[in-house]
Structure 1
Amino acid sequence: MSVEINKQGDVAVITINNPAVNALGHAVRAGIADQIAAANADAAVAAIVLTGAGRFFSAGADISEFGKASQEPILPAVCQAIEDSAKPVVAALPGPALGGGCELTLSCHARIALATAEVGLPEVKLGLIPGAGGTQRLPRLIGAKAAFAIMLDGEPLKAKKALDAGILDAVVESDVVAAAVAHARSLAGKPLRRTGALTIPAEQREAFEAAATAALKKDPESPNVPALVDCVRAAFDKPFAEAMAFEREQFVKLLKNERSIALRHVFFAERGAARVADAPKDTKARNVGKVAIIGAGTMGGGIAMSFVAAGVPVILIENDKEALERGVSRVAGNYDFSVSRGSMTEARKAELMGRIDGRVGLEAAADADLVIEAVFEEMTVKKDVFGKLDKIAKKGAILATNTSYLNVDDIAAATARPADVVGLHFFSPANVMKLLEIVRAKHTAPDVLVTAVALARKIGKMPVVVGNCHGFVGNRMLARRSQQVERLLTEGALPQQVDAALRTFGFRMGPCAMSDLAGLDISWRMRKATGQKAPVADALCEAGRFGQKAGRGYYLYQDGRTPTPDPEVEQLLAKVSAAQGVTRRAISEEEITQRLIYPMINEGTRILAEGIAARSADIDVVWVHGYNFPRWRGGPMHYADQVGLKHIAERLEAYSKATGDESLAPAPLLRELADKGGSFAKGTPGG
């Protein structure tokens, strides 16, 4: 059953039992409404407790129902039935009450929670607003400014903070249902506090309006922010029933908004990416109690910080004492910076540093359950490390390589245990960036992949399992964009025009400014080692323009940080164009945007066709979390579906012919989907 009822004396306890998170699908909503009515009709019942089975009260609405025809009763009606109950209804929160689950509790006459529970209205993160009374009941309960801040932020409040805010009536350490039963019984026969009947004092208006003005200025493009503002205003200005109707109208309108659709797509994609597509359901993760990281450089140190922050001790290994001391000092320096900013205490720093055991020599990895290699991005170096690890690491240990491009099969071949080898591509800085590409090599065992996914989640990363090829998913697609940056700059665009186009699209930083920040010399050295060419970037490096650290790159950095267009770069570009036999021309922002984004989508199509990504949504997760693709656009493949694959294929064909750049020609799968009216989300009609 999705909703159960039992009696504890004269109190009816209604329990939502819809594993795993007690989502409020149609059957649950109907069950709650029916049991509330039944309890009110039962003369032997004096009061009611509403709770959730398992670890959740309720994580909220079943968002898979969004966009589909609503089935009665809708959640606002269920909430109203609870608030209108003649008998007291007390919410007992054993765990999180989020979104619609929180709105259910707001319609109860009191709320009691375990100390480990939390409450929140995260709808803003899905491009929505609360749609079952949250914008009306919460301001009436705790005040307009405080409620607006909670809804605008979308982050849950721990029970103690929710109690201090006035959302909860009590917090208990154990047996929350027993506490709620006692409280419900104490309310029987007394006047009830019905949240919808409360009013907001007029003197709160000024503070709320100031907060609203700041929010609208900060995020002028998000349609749900003005909708949220208008709904809270309605809580001041309209009778409760009218304000509820207005909230519902705004909520339904936002459900159809492209931004909201994209944000919901990412929400589902993130959950899907955490599943190993073809691993048997009974695959169990290996036990990982000890982690060793080889290489105490910037990347190795960042990986170590990720593990110790999650409570996992790390053995940090270097070849010599000097390199080890530099690496450990670098980690300590990062923590010192956090302490100086007030975001970390000295005690926390000491706790984290105490989890790092610095050692010299690979033999220190002998006891580790997981060994992560984070040495130079050079195949001979990595193969040498793995050959030695094969003799040192214990049986059953997972051997992981942190590589951005290199062939994991070749690295695994240096061992006699390729089933234990996996790629773990952390993004820099590893202690900050959320994405972790988990690279499945030819022989990687399913339980190794399942273990890697579980560990990624434990250390706060977003795992995506990808196939083995040069650059995997993210960097392989990025290479196509970088190629077009070079060609656009050669054909007539300026760095500031290229960057402005992507910022307008929604990226926080353009590719030229990003390259300056990373340092142009790094890629230059790699190109020289592999015999590759990038005429514009090579010319900048030959002129000593290595980026921010040199005070000049694509831009001039007179204050060391702020990029300023440099006339010298225009002159350099003119020389490169002339040397390439290219007549420079004016290039529109539309063309720049399309030639940066569409080739990535084209490459994503090839990645799908080759099985390097199991799902188009996985590619979206990689780009949202690893490369700051605007979340509200849903990732490159979702964006392509929104724009239309036929349009993208036609534009790529046109650019390919106009520029003579064959790499822009539509990939076979893209042509097929475009010709047959398919999409990445749904595939080819009839296929």
Structure 2
Amino acid sequence: MTDLVRLERDGDVAVITIDNPPVNALKAEVRAGLLAAIAAVQDDSRIGAVVIRCAGRTFVAGADISELGKPAMQPYLPDVIEAIETCPKPVVAALHGTALGGGLEIALGCHYRVALAATRLGLPEIKLGLIPGAGGTQRLPRLVGPETAFAMVLSGEPIGAEEAQTRGLVDAIVPDLDAAAVAFARKAAARGQPPRTRDRSEAIAPYGADPAGLDALAAKHAGRPDGRAAPPAAVEALKAAVTLPFEEGIARERALFVALRDGPQSAAYRHLFAAERAAMRLDLPAGVAARRIGRAAVIGAGTMGAGIAACFANAGLPVVMVDVSAESLARGRDTIEKTWAAAVQRGKLTAAEMERRRALLTTATDLAAVAGAELVVEAAVEDMAVKRDVFAALDTIAPDAILATNTSYLDIDAIAAATRRPGRVLGLHFFSPATVMRLVEVVRAAETDPEVLATGVAIARTLGKVPVVVGVCHGFVGNRMLRVRTTETERLLLAGALPYEIDAALTEFGFPMGPCAVGDLAGLDIAWRMRKAQGARAEIADRLCEAGRFGQKTGRGYFRYEPGSRTPIRDPEVEALIVATSATLGITRRPFTADEIVERLLFPMVNEGARILAEGIARRAGDIDVIWVNGYGFPAYRGGPMHWADAIGLPRVRDRLTAIAAETGEASHAPAPLVVELAAAGRGFASVAS
């Protein structure tokens, strides 16, 4: 045993307690203690059965993530589980909180499982670019059948105790876990030799005789290939549970797990896992804490305002949505309620929960309605004069409230200056659709108080979002880098690439959509109006708008769209316009490979990220990665733009930027000083101190 694992007796039942707070992660010392405890009870004639339980708020919630990527430390988890399963005395897992990953694999190795009703059970490894590596893909199908096993492993989503019992994963749901587990173990001992999960075949036998059915099941849950390595590996491992003897299946699972664990995709996922948590940590003065927000207000009932208001109601916070237009308010509320009703229809929300949320959301046309709010989020039109007028009025109406703006680009210092208390002002930049997108850029203005910043981060977490603190500049972090990609897309179109080639290169890289299709979805006219207001021009995009091609809303943009369809179709008219524009501007077109397109679009973005880091707009490279993965569709299995650049090597990034700058003559393409410095030193963005 170790200090993290205790062995005690309750009469003739041994109780093994894992106590490794906060989530009882399976670090090496825990595995060693568990293995020693199992060995001890096997040789103790006074012991007839065993209970494995956990102290604290949860059963084992997974492996120790910090051990991944390091030399493996004995004892290995598969060996520990093997010892549990082959123990001649009944072993009962007493589950509460969450039994996830390696924790559920331990439970699968036990002969029986009892749980509290609120317990959640799952194998989330796929979310870290992995598959279960300690028998999860082999024992789970034997216990619950391939249908449930494919669903759990490939989604990574946990199921509740009641469903787990229905599917055969849990033997009993009990009200008093410790006493019930001991009683269950005692009765199991009286029944004699315990059943081993590995020996069960009745659940997998039908699929063993039906290869086509197994393939169909795999296809149903795996979906279309999307560049991730873990889903096809999970399918192969789960199929092995059906088609191979247990020992061969276990060996196949382990080989697949090790290959993923040591591969670049899992490293990218682990980087993001750590980066999300680092982004939530603030370096604040001692004693500073977030304010409690009991009531919120949202100004504006458009797409963003309504979405933000729904987020508050969804999180159980009373919120008033204010707009000068009663019609806008009605549309906004109707949109929110239709979303809730659709969730009820899909079984994702109960009717009672919908009614609770409806009661939390009120509306008003008078700005005075925000007076009782402790947090006010302004989501009015993207116009500096309008926003300053709103904040000046809020100074009087809600003198004690924290004031946040959802601006995507505007100077928050200038907005804060419209008030007498700029320290109470910050940015909360949500992403559309606000109820779906996880990211919130928490923008720290020059005079934002530490308490206000802490509250901004805390409220984003309360809403179920991933907050990332950024500084003030045009577009902050995400949109500043997006603007670079948009500019590079225009340059590529003029230089020789066509919309379908650009989009194909980025979707093959892993983005869900290419930049041309994204522009069509958002509406090309929005950026067109902004450019005209700034006296700027984008030759291709502007000519499309001048021809009335605004994107999906008009059925024509960079691509053509059939009525009622969102599928982009190549349009010879657009391609001819692009070629003609290049000729008019005296540009000699040339072909681009997919790799060149990726480099021409993403390396300048990375370059801008380096400038953002050097300016202190982002505190660390991981913050930029979290923003781009959660807000802009950068493929998570590549870890975000800065991690991706580190993985391929900054000397290559530097050299390609230098070559691109020589070809285009654009000074912005020259490698940023930080890129040059890090490349010369053999370091990456991850080494830059926050």
Is the pair's TM-score, using the shorter chain for normalization, greater than 0.5?
yes
2:7, 2:120 → 1: CA distance? 24
Q: Which runs of 5+ in 1 are unaligned?
A: none
Equivalent residue letter for 2:206: E
Q: How far is the alpha carbon of 1:280 from its aligned partner? A: 4.4
Q: How far is the alpha carbon of 1:230 from its aligned partner? A: 3.1
Q: How far is the alpha carbon of 1:452 from its aligned partner? A: 2.0
1:267 aligns with 2:270: no
* Structure 1 equivalent of residue 207 of structure 2: 204
Q: How far is the alpha carbon of 1:339 from its aligned partner? A: 5.6
1:592, 1:165 → 2: CA distance? 48
* Structure 2 equivalent of residue 389 of structure 1: 394
* Structure 2 equivalent of residue 544 of structure 1: 548
* Structure 2 equivalent of residue 414 of structure 1: 418
Q: Secondary structure at the match of 2:686?
A: coil
Structure 1, residues 110-155: CA drift from partner, whole Å, max 9, x if none?
1111111111111122221111111121122222333233212211
**1:42/1:637 CA distance change after superposition, 3 Å:** same
**1:116/1:478 CA distance change after superposition, 3 Å:** same
Equivalent residue letter for 2:482: L
Structure 1, residues 287-308: CA drift from partner, whole Å, max 9, x if none?
1100011111111101011111
2:343, 2:139 → 1: CA distance? 38
2:44, 2:346 → 1: CA distance? 59
Check the 8 A contact 2:319/2:360 in 1, yes or no: yes
TM-score (norm. length: structure 1): 0.95
Equivalent residue letter for 2:141: P
**1:572/1:438 CA distance change after superposition, 3 Å:** same
Q: Secondary structure at the match of 2:8?
A: strand
* Structure 2 equivalent of residue 169 of structure 1: 171
Structure 1, residues 14-69: CA drift from partner, whole Å, max 9, x if none?
22111111110111111111222233334443322111122210111112111211
TM-score (norm. length: structure 2): 0.94
1:558, 1:175 → 2: CA distance? 60
Structure 1, residues 270-318: CA drift from partner, whole Å, max 9, x if none?
2222222x12475322111000111111111010111111211211112
1:581 aligns with 2:586: yes
Equivalent residue letter for 1:679: G
Equivalent residue letter for 1:229: V
Q: How far is the alpha carbon of 1:503 from its aligned partner? A: 1.3
Counterpart mapping for 1:63-74 below 5 A: 63-74=65-76
Q: Secondary structure at the match of 1:292?
A: strand
Q: Secondary structure at the match of 1:119?
A: strand
1:494 aligns with 2:498: yes
* Structure 1 equivalent of residue 636 of structure 2: 631
1:126, 1:351 → 2: CA distance? 35
* Structure 2 equivalent of residue 256 of structure 1: 262
Equivalent residue letter for 2:288: T
Check the 8 A contact 1:143/1:204 in 2, yes or no: no
- 1:229 paired residue among 207, 214, 235: 235
**1:28/1:290 CA distance change after superposition, 3 Å:** same
1:300, 1:622 → 2: CA distance? 21
* Structure 1 equivalent of residue 622 of structure 2: 617
* Structure 1 equivalent of residue 17 of structure 2: 15
Check the 8 A contact 1:145/1:204 in 2, yes or no: no
* Structure 1 equivalent of residue 187 of structure 2: 186
Counterpart mapping for 1:536-575 below 5 A: 536-561=540-565, 562-575=567-580
Q: How far is the alpha carbon of 1:432 from its aligned partner? A: 1.7
1:164, 1:252 → 2: CA distance? 33
Structure 1, residues 608-653: CA drift from partner, whole Å, max 9, x if none?
1111111111111111110111111111111111111111110111
Check the 8 A contact 1:215/1:225 in 2, yes or no: no
1:515 aligns with 2:519: yes
Check the 8 A contact 1:140/1:199 in 2, yes or no: yes
- 1:657 paired residue among 662, 671, 676: 662
2:506, 2:682 → 1: CA distance? 28
Count of aligned pairs: 682
Structure 1, residues 371-407: CA drift from partner, whole Å, max 9, x if none?
1011111111111111111112142x21111110111
In terms of mean alpha carbon deviation, does 418-427 or 235-244 score higher? 235-244
Q: How far is the alpha carbon of 1:511 from its aligned partner? A: 0.8
Q: Secondary structure at the match of 1:603?
A: helix
* CA-based RMSD: 2.1
1:100, 1:644 → 2: CA distance? 33
Q: Which runs of 5+ in 2 are unaligned?
A: none
Q: Secondary structure at the match of 2:687?
A: coil
1:635, 1:677 → 2: CA distance? 20
* Structure 2 equivalent of residue 126 of structure 1: 128
Q: Secondary structure at the match of 1:617?
A: helix
**1:304/1:674 CA distance change after superposition, 3 Å:** same
* Structure 1 equivalent of residue 404 of structure 2: 400
Equivalent residue letter for 1:660: G
* Structure 1 equivalent of residue 599 of structure 2: 594
Counterpart mapping for 1:225-624 below 5 A: 225-276=231-282, 278-280=283-285, 282-338=287-343, 347-395=352-400, 397-561=401-565, 562-624=567-629
Q: Secondary structure at the match of 1:614?
A: coil
- 1:75 paired residue among 77, 96, 100: 77
Q: How far is the alpha carbon of 1:356 from its aligned partner? A: 1.0
Q: How far is the alpha carbon of 1:679 from its aligned partner? A: 1.0
